[in-house]
Structure 1
Amino acid sequence: MNILILGSGQLARMMALAGYPLGLHVAAVDVNARNVVDPLTKLVSDKSLIQALVEADAISVEFEHIPQDLLEQVNATGKLKPSIESIMAGADRVKEKALLSGLNIANCPYKIVTDINQLDEAVVQLGEKLIIKASRDGYDGYGQWRLSSVTQLAELKLQLSELDLQKVPLVVEKMLCFERELSLVGVRSANGEIAYYPLAENLHHQGQLHVSVAPAPHVNEALNQQAQDVFNKLAHALGYVGVLAVEFFQMGDQLLVNEIAPRVHNSGHWSMQGADTCQFENHLRAISGLPLGATTVLKPTAMINIIGCDDFSKDILSIAGSHLHLYGKTVRAKRKMGHLNVSADSYAELGKTMQALAQYLPAEHFPMLKDEAARLATL
């Protein structure tokens, strides 16, 4: 069976690696050059995009920011999974907010801004502490601004005045004092079968995910059920097929949706070692019509992103329970170069293993690691 993935980065690569044992051949598309490439070697195929679309049995995406004309061309084949509506909701925060509000799913209080002077109204409506997000093409902290005091408003308006807000509106959200960030990764098949991974706890630094721990500590059944109910609403409303990630802010006993990702997700990478079937394999199973794999947790696992560096000792591999996944990229600031998965029999042992790992990793590139390791070691 031939699977075509729009996008040729590390997520397409990991899907390809998960697909080969199942007899699934995964090719990728460089969505800017419109070339068909091997997701592992990055070599350009002599196969045309049109030919690849015809030969594909199923087509999916590794990220949601696909050029509109290409997305519509692929959708016309009838092979795109998840649906174009799902992908567009993940790519556009205005559509995403409309989807959440239409389904009565709790999310951050917000205002859509299409004129710079509407920021004054947003301050009155939401308060002076705000997170301001470009509605399209923002990720990993890019396309986001913060307002901490009304005294900064004039300067911020000047900074944003060059943006075309009619073309790309801003989504202005109230800055919430939440306890932690959680995410639920789940998968739905074409016949409506659903499998959930446990909630993961996520730690961010400068807008980028640095560490995920799964299952998230201190999660009761009510909180877990609340997350799954949200997933169900979204998946059923969108007729979803494949892996879907939902990011939450936890405020006491309530979960507020931060955003959705209609694809395999960074906070699900832990499943490569920590679950019976990883998210990449389950996504391929869903879109190709195979039975879903079990999402049973094998051991508590931490995923640690390797960001903007490659100057660390490979002796980390001598630490029991540690697994290195490199993406074959050249180093660039804030670029995800790979990740580490670390598993142990308990949270306490996981924390101790992460403390051992930290001895090999430069603290400036892994700023969340030592504190998180110390916290887990006490559980």
Structure 2
Amino acid sequence: MKPVCVLGNGQLGRMLRQAGEPLGIKVYPVGLDAEPAALPIAQSVITAEIERWPETALTRELARHPAFVNRDIFPRLADRLTQKQLLDQLGLATAPWQLLADRSEWPQVFSRLGALAIVKRRTGGYDGRGQWRLRADDTASLPAECYGECIVEQGINFSGEVSLVGARGEDGSTVFYPLTHNLHEEGILRTSVAFPQADAAQQQQAEAMLSAIMHALNYVGVMAMECFVTPEGLLINELAPRVHNSGHWTQNGASVSQFELHLRAVLGLPLPQPVVFAPSVMVNLIGTEVNLAWLQQPLVHLHWYDKAVRAGRKVGHLNLTDSDSSRLADALNALVPLLPPAYASGIAWAVAKL
């Protein structure tokens, strides 16, 4: 089997490497400053764990590589302007939006989009960074360099957030996991909950939308779609052309993880429908030191990224899966005293979902 080089050597690249080992697939996560000559690039399939990257010797080499899967799709989806334009072209539901080109546009923005405006940088902003929630008397706080470099969306009154992780093969076949329920705090994913059976209407709508996107782009691999739940149905918030934080539960809660599914897709291997056999919960570890007492809990699977711990930084996650929801809830509650107080609300949210 061909080796796979992953542009980016963060935790997603590491987890792709781990997923390749049982299949005998050699996966090489590579930093942007790596020397091309030191890597098996010529005979590899190329994928990425990041959507955008600077020009380096490595990225110049990869830009010419014939087996860089989705190479021309990454920049299109990394820019929120062209991402939103794609959704509009496909007629898919998303929050009303526009490019924010000049401060003189604010009266028209609030007239068209309503009292709450969500400003997002076109590129680079994630985990709550590069985003602003503004009302008419707040606009002076927006940095001047944002104009022309941001889009502005209508603030949506949603009842929940869900994501769909799916994959498309070279032959156009698609498979999907059940919808994942997500809790964000300050723009960062804190907790995810997934069930073997999702709401049928929501699952059908989400699969139709993500299928349309992947087919339109001729995309190959795993893609994630984040949505708001509204009374009128799902609204697409953002797309990620890669394995995704909200799919980490699949490592322990599905027959095939999102990481293995992505490798299968880019290598042209079979894509079976993943089997989800029990409710699962993922707890993101954010700026938190490792605590080996977590491992006293029999349902806990610790995934530690071995990164320097800093405030706001994702340093690992905990997966818990059990067919008995009450036992799963008990295991989650047992984690509360073993984690910083900020985690209690996210765990209570997950327990209430079960």
Q: TM-score, normalised by structure 1?
A: 0.88
Q: Indicate the residue corresponding to 1:77 in structure 2.
A: 65
Summarize the Cα distance change of 1:68–1:91 in structure 2 as closer, same or farther, 3 Å threshold.
farther
Tell me if the contact between 2:167 and 2:174 (Cα under 8 Å) persists in the aligned partners: yes
Match runs of 1:81-92 below 5 Å: 81-85=69-73, 87-92=74-79
User: How far 1:73 moved relative to its partner?
Assistant: 4.4
Tell me if the contact between 2:36 and 2:61 (Cα under 8 Å) persists in the aligned partners: no
Q: Indicate the residue corresponding to 2:28 in structure 1.
A: 27
Summarize the Cα distance change of 1:29–1:116 in structure 2 as closer, same or farther, 3 Å threshold.
farther
Q: Indicate the residue corresponding to 1:176 in structure 2.
A: 156
Aligned counterparts of 2:249 and 2:255: Cα–Cα separation in 1: 11
Summarize the Cα distance change of 1:343–1:357 in structure 2 as closer, same or farther, 3 Å threshold.
same
Aligned counterparts of 1:239 and 1:251: Cα–Cα separation in 2: 29
Match runs of 1:115-130 below 5 Å: 115-130=102-117
Q: Indicate the residue corresponding to 1:286 in structure 2.
A: 265
Tell me if the contact between 1:322 and 1:341 (Cα under 8 Å) persists in the aligned partners: yes
Q: Which runs of 5+ in 2 are unaligned?
A: none
Aligned counterparts of 1:273 and 1:19: Cα–Cα separation in 2: 15
1:262 aligns with 2:213: no
Q: Indicate the RMSD between aligned Cα atoms, in angstroms.
A: 1.9
Aligned counterparts of 1:73 and 1:118: Cα–Cα separation in 2: 42
Tell me if the contact between 1:83 and 1:238 (Cα under 8 Å) persists in the aligned partners: no
Aligned counterparts of 2:256 and 2:290: Cα–Cα separation in 1: 31
Of 50, 74, 77 in structure 2, the residue corresponding to residue 63 of structure 1 is 50
Summarize the Cα distance change of 1:209–1:56 in structure 2 as closer, same or farther, 3 Å threshold.
farther
Summarize the Cα distance change of 1:297–1:357 in structure 2 as closer, same or farther, 3 Å threshold.
same
Amino acid at match of 2:68: L
Aligned counterparts of 1:56 and 1:203: Cα–Cα separation in 2: 41
Match runs of 1:211-230 below 5 Å: 211-215=191-195, 219-230=198-209
Summarize the Cα distance change of 1:92–1:68 in structure 2 as closer, same or farther, 3 Å threshold.
farther
User: How far 1:214 moved relative to its partner?
Assistant: 0.8
Tell me if the contact between 1:89 and 1:95 (Cα under 8 Å) persists in the aligned partners: yes
Point out 4+ residue stretches in structure 1 off by more than 6 angstroms: none
Aligned counterparts of 1:188 and 1:164: Cα–Cα separation in 2: 35
Tell me if the contact between 2:192 and 2:350 (Cα under 8 Å) persists in the aligned partners: no
Aligned counterparts of 1:9 and 1:103: Cα–Cα separation in 2: 32
Q: Indicate the residue corresponding to 2:274 in structure 1.
A: 295
Aligned counterparts of 2:302 and 2:77: Cα–Cα separation in 1: 29
Summarize the Cα distance change of 1:319–1:257 in structure 2 as closer, same or farther, 3 Å threshold.
same
User: How far 1:253 moved relative to its partner?
Assistant: 4.8
Q: TM-score, normalised by structure 2?
A: 0.94
User: How far 1:56 moved relative to its partner?
Assistant: 3.8
Of 80, 86, 89 in structure 2, the residue corresponding to residue 99 of structure 1 is 86
Q: Which runs of 5+ in 1 are unaligned?
A: 36-47
Q: Indicate the residue corresponding to 2:136 in structure 1.
A: 150
1:245-293 deviations in Å (ceiling 9; x for gaps): 0000010250000000000000000000000000001101111111124
Tell me if the contact between 1:276 and 1:293 (Cα under 8 Å) persists in the aligned partners: no
Q: Indicate the residue corresponding to 2:7 in structure 1.
A: 6
Tell me if the contact between 1:211 and 1:368 (Cα under 8 Å) persists in the aligned partners: no
Match runs of 1:207-246 below 5 Å: 207-215=187-195, 219-246=198-225
Amino acid at match of 1:150: A
Tell me if the contact between 1:185 and 1:245 (Cα under 8 Å) persists in the aligned partners: yes
Deviates further, 75-84 or 17-26: 75-84
